[in-house]
Every structure is written in structure tokens, then in C-alpha cells.
């Protein structure tokens, strides 16, 4: 980028300028003063297509800086509960589907990292595209201090109830962490019988970095599991509905009946309507 700024940009063609700046990474250069200088030079160019390149880079830079600020706020939120040193976030996915397990994940992040080591784009897993969730899941597993996934099968849900199973996967994931947390932040409500200090956070997967990370890992894990089940049980469109009661899923139930991963306790009305 420094060499590029040494050129008289006004004498370069739009094509050459575009090719040069296409190699510039905002993520690697967002703190670089030369990037700001480049934006100014491009914006001041009399050619509209060249100045638009500067405007595009500026927008991309602003978005990236705002994302750093947003995620830093999430990290700081987790640190705002007092003098706790090790904080875990826990969240679940799969409470409402007609089939498959309920899955929870607990995650411990390093909340004191520098900007360049923040896990950007953390959010409620449902707000992220599948490809972005999968990409983030790998980053979270790489950067997390510890994480653990807890599962309760459809059989256990039928035997013990969804509320019991929901609490069980929260407990399992928190208690099985390789590092014992001083505080657990749980999404939505408190965990029963947990032996660790616990605070509940309404809409925690949009406020807490740790809960958001847990939400993403749990979602990616369960979605992969349901996609594998779709190969074994092809009549219910599991690869698209992840076990939720979509029309294709209901149609499959009415035509072929239930399979081994269906929750009988969730199907009473649907199957009775079919008789």
C-alpha cells in the first residue's frame, strides 16, 4: 500500500487502481494510517469511478470498526458482573422441535484479549447465515479457553420432560468444562441445582460474547447431527427443518409415521389428527 501511494494516482487508470486496492485487507490494515491516506486520495480524485472506490473502502472500514466496537461491548458485558475471573456462557438449541435431541454448549472465552483477537460477528446463532455460523464455530473452538457440549436425547425428553432435559444439558455442559468457571451466564433463565454462581441474561445471545459463542457451537453441532439423521430418515426434510414442525415434516409424519428420533410427547396432537 505504501508503494502504491508513491504513485501519482491521477495518472493511473481506473482498472489499475481497482486491481491494486483489491489486494488491501481491511482486517490487516484497519489501524494503518496509510489506509486513511489512501481513502483521502481516492475520494479527492476527480473521476467518479475512482472516488467511488475510496467511498467503498471507507464504508468497509467503518463497518469493520463498528463491528469491533459492538463485539468489544459484548466482551465487556461479560466482565461487568463483578470480580469473577473465569466466566462461562451457556445456551441451548432444540427445545421446540418435534424430533432430535436438545443440545447445550458452555463456552469460556478469554475476555481480556486485544482487538485483533476478538471473535468478530458473534451474535444470536439464528441471526447468522449457516456458512457464517460454521466459520465462526471453528474460530470459537480454536480461541476458547474451554467448551463442552451437552445432549439430551428424544427418549430422555419423552421420559423426563423438556424442562428437565433443558436444565440437564445446561448442567452437563457447565459441569464438564475442563476449566471450572467462577460464574455462568445463562440465556433466558437460571440453571436449577448448579453449584456455580449463575446469572441469567434475557436475550443473552445478543448481549454476551460467551453466550453468543455457546449459541453458535450448539447450533452448528445440532444442525450437523440433524443433517446426518436426514440421510437415515429421508421422509421428514430434517436437512432443512432441523426437526421443527414445518409442513414438509408434518406431511412426512402423516404419510410415513414417526421415526426413532421423534419425540412422542410432542406428536400427540399431530398423530391423533391423522387417525
Report the distance separating Cα 244 and Cα 242, nearest Å.
6
DSSP code for 179:
S
62 is in an annotated binding site: no
Compute the C-alpha angle 86/89/90, nearest 5°.
140
Pairwise CA distance, residues 45 & 14, whole Å: 11
SS3 258: coil
The owner of cell 426434510 is: 237
Residue 172 labeled ligand binder: no
**Rounded CA separation 183/167 (Å):** 17
- Residue among 38, 46, 148, 137 at smallest CA distance from 90: 148
Residue 249 CA to residue 124 CA, distance in Å, equals 25
What is the rounded CA–CA span in Å between residue 102 and residue 107?
A: 17
Residue 241: how many CB atoms within 10 A of its CB? 20
Q: What is the CA radius of gyration of the chain?
A: 24
Report yes or no: 65 and 31 within 8 Å, Cβ to Cβ: no
Under 8 Å between Cβ of 112 and 255: no
The residue count of the chain comes to: 275
Is 197 one of the annotated binding-site residues? Answer: no
Nearest to 6 by CA among 36, 41, 32: 41
Binding-site residues from annotation for a divalent metal cation: 91-92, 187
- Binding site members: 91-92, 187
Amino acid at each position: 500500500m505504501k508503494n502504491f501511494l508513491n504513485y501519482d494516482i491521477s495518472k493511473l487508470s481506473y482498472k489499475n487502481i481497482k486491481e491494486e486496492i483489491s489486494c488491501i485487507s481491511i482486517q490487516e490494515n484497519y489501524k494503518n494510517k496509510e489506509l486513511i491516506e489512501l481513502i483521502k486520495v481516492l475520494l479527492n480524485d476527480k473521476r467518479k469511478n475512482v472516488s467511488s472506490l475510496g467511498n467503498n473502502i471507507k464504508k468497509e472500514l467503518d463497518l469493520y470498526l463498528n463491528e469491533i466496537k459492538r463485539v468489544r461491548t459484548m466482551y465487556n458485558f461479560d466482565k461487568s458482573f463483578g470480580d469473577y475471573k473465569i466466566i462461562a456462557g451457556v445456551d441451548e438449541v432444540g427445545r421446540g422441535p418435534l424430533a432430535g435431541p436438545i443440545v447445550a454448549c458452555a463456552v469460556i472465552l478469554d475476555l481480556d484479549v486485544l482487538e485483533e483477537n476478538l471473535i468478530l460477528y458473534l451474535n444470536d446463532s439464528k441471526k447468522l447465515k449457516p456458512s457464517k455460523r460454521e466459520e465462526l464455530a471453528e474460530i470459537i473452538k480454536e480461541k476458547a479457553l474451554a467448551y463442552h457440549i451437552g445432549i439430551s436425547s428424544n427418549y430422555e425428553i419423552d421420559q423426563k420432560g423438556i424442562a428437565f432435559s433443558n436444565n440437564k444439558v445446561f448442567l452437563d455442559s457447565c459441569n464438564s468444562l475442563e476449566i471450572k468457571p467462577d460464574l455462568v451466564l445463562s440465556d433466558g433463565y437460571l440453571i436449577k441445582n448448579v453449584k456455580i454462581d449463575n446469572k441469567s441474561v434475557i436475550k443473552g445471545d445478543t448481549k454476551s460474547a460467551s453466550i453468543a459463542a455457546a449459541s453458535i457451537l450448539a447450533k452448528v453441532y445440532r444442525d450437523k447431527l440433524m443433517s446426518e439423521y436426514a440421510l437415515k430418515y429421508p421422509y421428514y426434510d430434517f436437512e432443512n427443518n432441523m426437526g421443527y414442525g414445518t409442513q414438509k415434516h408434518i406431511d412426512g409424519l402423516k404419510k410415513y409415521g414417526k421415526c426413532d428420533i421423534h419425540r412422542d410427547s410432542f406428536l400427540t396432537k399431530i398423530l391423533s389428527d391423522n387417525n
